[in-house]
């Protein structure tokens, strides 16, 4: 009897599949199971009690959860859109720079390489109401009130969004700039000859060409939107009075502070679904946009 040999591609992929199965898939299956139990870290025996969809029903009827969920969606919508617009703007600016472009591009990449936790600390310092840079500058310019950046709910949300945008706009700027560099010159010149206004040229020639690059950036971003957790955790910890609580901070509070792992895992699944939907959506868009301009193959 001869044993069928595994195909080569599968052998090559096997280590990756094994590692991911062991470290991600199995824990995820475990957390799926535990989300149907009242599991508490302090009482291990609770892991074996099956309560069905009780945890899910509980979070779906919990106003705090929905507030955090809504805030997360709002946060992502605002942040991703602004990052895209700013990134596009910066890329167009950089594309016109005639000298020192390489240096500027390198500087542009720096925020990408900052640890999210560091970004959080950095802006916690800068937005500090007492000794922070922002308030110091404002006061030196003659404003007498110290703005409570991280203490007031709205201002805190603004500060967090600012930090997040500061950190991640470069992803868009860099990739869109790469798109601009790769762009063929002929259609642009043809449009000029045909009398297109700059806006028309941008709207109908530049933008469609940039779409795949925008979707690549979106896909990469959607892979790690949850990094915002680090920033929020450091800057406000979800406070003041849960005004900046996002899905991820609520989850970690429920899991680690309240030790209610079953409930936290149920929330975890909601957040995983959210991330996966984002990712699949942009992957699809990416393939479609690539096919459109003939980059697929």
Q: Taking CB under 8 A as the criterion, which residues in 130-149 touch other proteins?
A: 130-131, 133, 136, 139-140
In angstroms, give the least distance from the CB of 289 to other proteins.
11
| CB distance 113 to 153 below 8 Å | no
In angstroms, give the least distance from the CB of 1 to other proteins.
25
- Is residue 107 a contact point for other proteins (CB under 8 A)? yes
Residue from 37, 168, 222, 236 in contact with other proteins (CB under 8 A): 222
Q: Where are the alpha helices (DSSP H) in the chain?
A: 8-20, 26-34, 54-60, 63-96, 101-113, 116-126, 133-140, 153-181, 186-193, 198-201, 207-223, 228-235, 247-252, 261-292
Nearer to other proteins, 181 or 190 (CB): 181
Residue from 59, 191, 226, 235 in contact with other proteins (CB under 8 A): 226
Site for other proteins, residues 32 to 51, rule: CB under 8 A? 34, 41
In angstroms, give the least distance from the CB of 63 to other proteins.
21
Distance CA 276, CA 33 (A): 19
- Is residue 106 a contact point for other proteins (CB under 8 A)? yes
Nearer to other proteins, 155 or 178 (CB): 178
In angstroms, give the least distance from the CB of 285 to other proteins.
11
Which residue in the block uniquely carries the two structure tokens 């052998």? 11
Residue from 78, 82, 118, 147 in contact with other proteins (CB under 8 A): 118
CA 221 to chain centre: 5
Reduced to 3 states (helix: H, G, I; strand: E, B; else coil), residue 238 is: coil
Which residue in the block uniquely carries the two structure tokens 């297109």? 196
Single out the segment in contact with other proteins by CB under 8 A; choices: 57-65, 113-121, 191-199, 202-210.
113-121
Q: What is the DSSP letter of 7?
A: P
3-state SS, one letter per residue, for 121-189: HHHHHHCCCCCCHHHHHHHHCCCCCCCCCCCCHHHHHHHHHHHHHHHHHHHHHHHHHHHHHCCCCHHHH
Site for other proteins, residues 240 to 269, rule: CB under 8 A? 248, 251-252, 255-256, 261, 264-265, 268-269
Site for other proteins, residues 74 to 103, rule: CB under 8 A? 90, 93-94, 96-97
Nearest one of 276, 273, 229 to 253, comparing CA atoms: 229
- Is residue 6 a contact point for other proteins (CB under 8 A)? no
- Is residue 73 a contact point for other proteins (CB under 8 A)? no
In angstroms, give the least distance from the CB of 256 to other proteins.
7
Site for other proteins, residues 13 to 32, rule: CB under 8 A? 13, 15-16, 19-20, 22-28, 30-31
In angstroms, give the least distance from the CB of 294 to other proteins.
11
Residue window 184-213: x/- pattern of binding to other proteins, with contact defined by CB under 8 A: -----------------------------x
What Å distances lie between residue 287 and 11, 180, 211, 230, CA to CA?
27, 19, 11, 31
In angstroms, give the least distance from the CB of 267 to other proteins.
8
187 Cβ contact list (under 8 Å, min separation 6): 205
């Amino acid at each position: 009897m001869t044993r069928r040999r595994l195909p080569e591609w599968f052998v090559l992929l096997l280590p990756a599949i094994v590692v991911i199965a062991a470290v991600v898939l199995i824990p995820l299956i475990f957390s799926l199971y535990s989300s149907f139990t009242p599991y508490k870290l302090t009482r291990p025996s609770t892991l074996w009690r099956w309560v069905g969809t009780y945890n899910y029903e509980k979070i779906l009827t919990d106003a705090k959860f929905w507030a955090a969920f809504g805030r997360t969606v709002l946060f992502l919508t605002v942040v991703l859109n602004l990052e895209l617009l700013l990134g596009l703007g910066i890329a167009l600016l950089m594309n016109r720079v005639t000298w020192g472009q390489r240096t500027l591009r390198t500087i542009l990449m720096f925020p990408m390489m900052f640890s999210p936790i560091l970004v959080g600390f950095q802006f916690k310092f800068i937005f500090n109401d007492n000794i922070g840079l922002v308030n110091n500058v404002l006061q030196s310019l003659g404003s007498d009130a110290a703005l409570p950046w991280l203490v007031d709910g709205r201002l805190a949300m603004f500060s967090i969004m600012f930090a997040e945008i500061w950190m991640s706009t470069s992803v868009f700027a860099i990739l869109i700039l790469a798109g601009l560099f790769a762009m063929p010159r002929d259609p642009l010149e043809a449009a000029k000859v045909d009398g297109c206004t700059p806006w028309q040229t941008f709207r109908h020639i530049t933008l469609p060409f940039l779409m795949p690059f925008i979707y690549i950036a979106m896909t990469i971003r959607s892979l790690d939107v949850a990094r915002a957790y680090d920033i929020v955790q450091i800057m406000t910890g979800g406070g003041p009075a849960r005004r900046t609580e996002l899905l991820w901070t609520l989850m970690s509070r429920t899991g680690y502070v309240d030790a209610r792992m079953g409930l936290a895992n149920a929330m975890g699944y909601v957040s995983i679904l959210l991330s996966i939907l984002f990712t699949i959506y942009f992957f699809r868009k990416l393939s479609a946009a690539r096919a459109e301009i003939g980059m697929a193959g």
